[in-house]
């Protein structure tokens, strides 16, 4: 599946994430049901999420767009692969980009930053996010590739 074809066929049903995301993962194209995290400069909830069975889901992390601390690094990305996550999208920064690029995981983020986050247990999981000009809800379906990210209320063929 690719995002351009989906937009051509299902334009009225799609929301396009309007963020300048870069590809960092070893998989450029990925899709799945959405799970969300909202947290600012604390990746405790990201750690919790990727430690659970991913079942092919995509984790969408709203890090508030912060580029001062990385919400995902190689250890959490490895855990996501081990547990069957399809991808992670970060409205913020990641680190360990070279290692993440070797993993069978889709990863899109705004940028990289070598600084890790604090681990204070802050943030929320499976909440509605408003990022990139769209609403992203837990249970939505997301498809990502080199052309962008599209979101629908349910899986599309």
Which of 60, 56, 147, 41 shows the shortest CA–CA distance to 109? 60
Mean pLDDT to the nearest integer, 64-85: 98
Binding residues for Mg(2+): 96
Q: Which of 44, 64, 13 is nearest to 123 (CA)?
A: 44
Q: What is the pLDDT of residues 103-124, one digit of tens each?
A: 999 999 999 999 999 999 999 9
The three-state secondary structure class of 66 is coil
Q: pLDDT band at 146, cuts 50/70/90?
A: very high
Residue 13 has what pLDDT?
Answer: 96
CB 131 within 8 A of CB 144: no
Residue 157, pLDDT > 90, answer no
**DSSP letters along 120-135, please?**
S---EES--EEETTEE
Known binding-site residues equal 73-76, 95-96
The domain locations on the chain are: 3-152
Q: Is the distance from CB of 157 to CB of 11 less than 8 angstroms?
A: no
The CATH number of 3-152 is 3.50.30.40
Which residues carry a binding-site annotation for substrate? Answer: 73-76, 95
């Amino acid at each position: 599946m690719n995002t351009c074809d989906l937009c051509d066929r299902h334009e009225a049903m799609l929301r396009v994430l309007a963020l300048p995301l870069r590809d960092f993962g070893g998989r450029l194209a990925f899709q799945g049901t959405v799970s969300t995290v909202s947290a600012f400069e604390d990746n405790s909830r990201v750690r919790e999420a990727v430690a659970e069975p991913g079942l092919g889901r995509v984790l969408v992390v709203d890090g508030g767009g912060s580029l001062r601390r990385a919400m995902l690094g190689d250890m959490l990305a490895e855990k996501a692969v081990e547990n069957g996550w399809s991808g992670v999208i970060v409205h913020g920064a990641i680190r360990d980009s070279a290692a993440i690029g070797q993993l069978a995981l889709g990863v899109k983020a705004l940028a990289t930053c070598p600084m890790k986050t604090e681990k204070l247990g802050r943030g929320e999981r499976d909440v509605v996010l408003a990022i990139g000009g769209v609403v992203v809800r837990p249970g939505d379906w997301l498809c990502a590739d080199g052309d962008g990210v599209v979101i629908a209320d349910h899986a599309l063929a």
